[in-house]
Amino acid sequence: MQMTDVKVTTVDCGSLFPLLAQGKADAATGFTPGSISNLARAGMTKVGHLDYADVGISLPSHGIIASNKTIESNPDVVRRFVAATTKGWQEALKDPDAAIKAMIKARPLVAGSEAIFRTELLSYGDYIATPGTTGKPFGWQSPDDWKAAEKLMVEYMDMKPMPSVEGYFTNKFIAGN
């Protein structure tokens, strides 16, 4: 397949999944767990996907964003927030049924979507670790993964590189680091 075989159209994010569900598009880009869940809510449950990692591109996974000001002025708050979030993710992945039950209790209007949430939660587990984070604590990010991601963004998105990839992330709040 060549790029000339494909017609690329940019649409509003809110239109992306309805257009696909209505058959007005053959494919869409998106983050797999969220995309699969949104399509399932639109009635599309048999969805194929291609992950960047399937073609050798390992991108950094999830993270928590904080301003440099917050990191510098409230490092203990950041550390405790990261620890609580890490524990929540680890517990949810260890016992998805309990996590979904707790979520439904907190958000009763989403009751009935448990199967979709379970698929989404389990899918997120596939995106937390990369080959570069093997053997590291949960949440630890790989400088090599960031260097590779930056290289792609510089080449294909006209992004200006940082003097050091540590400008994008820090592992200093990861327990066991």
Task: Give a yes or no: residue 63 inside a domain.
Answer: no
**Is there a single domain that holds both residue 155 and residue 85?**
yes
* Buried-exposed string 76-113: b where 16+ CB fall within 10 A, e elsewhere: eebeeebeeebeebeebeeebeebbeebbeeeeeeeeb
Task: Give a yes or no: residue 102 inside a domain.
Answer: yes
**157: CATH:** 3.40.190.10
Provide, rounded to the nearest whole percent, the portion of the chain with pLDDT above 70: 99
**Is there a single domain that holds both residue 121 and residue 89?**
yes
pLDDT in the model for residue 76: 97
124 contacts: CB under 8 Å, gap ≥ 6: 33, 62, 93
Task: Give a yes or no: residue 62 inside a domain.
Answer: no
Q: In 3-state terms, what secondary structure has residue 22?
A: coil
Mean pLDDT across the chain, nearest whole number? 88
Domain that holds residue 21: 3-55
pLDDT at 106 over 90: yes
Task: Give a yes or no: residue 138 inside a domain.
Answer: yes
Averaged pLDDT, 100-119:
92
pLDDT at 166 over 80: yes
Rg (alpha carbons) of the chain, rounded to whole number? 19
**Is there a single domain that holds both residue 72 and residue 137?**
yes
- The Cα 133–Cα 171 span in angstroms is 12
Q: What's the total number of domains in the chain?
A: 2
pLDDT in the model for residue 100: 96
- The Cα 155–Cα 23 span in angstroms is 33
**Is there a single domain that holds both residue 104 and residue 159?**
yes
Each residue of 69-100: pLDDT tens digit? 999 999 999 999 999 999 999 999 999 999 99
**Is there a single domain that holds both residue 39 and residue 125?**
no
**Is there a single domain that holds both residue 25 and residue 100?**
no
**Is there a single domain that holds both residue 109 and residue 147?**
yes
Task: Give a yes or no: residue 175 inside a domain.
Answer: no
The DSSP call for residue 162 is P
Q: Which residue has the higher pLDDT, 31 or 18?
A: 18
pLDDT in the model for residue 69: 96
**Is there a single domain that holds both residue 99 and residue 132?**
yes
**Is there a single domain that holds both residue 159 and residue 72?**
yes
**Is there a single domain that holds both residue 22 and residue 83?**
no
* Domain end point (choices 55, 77, 98): 55
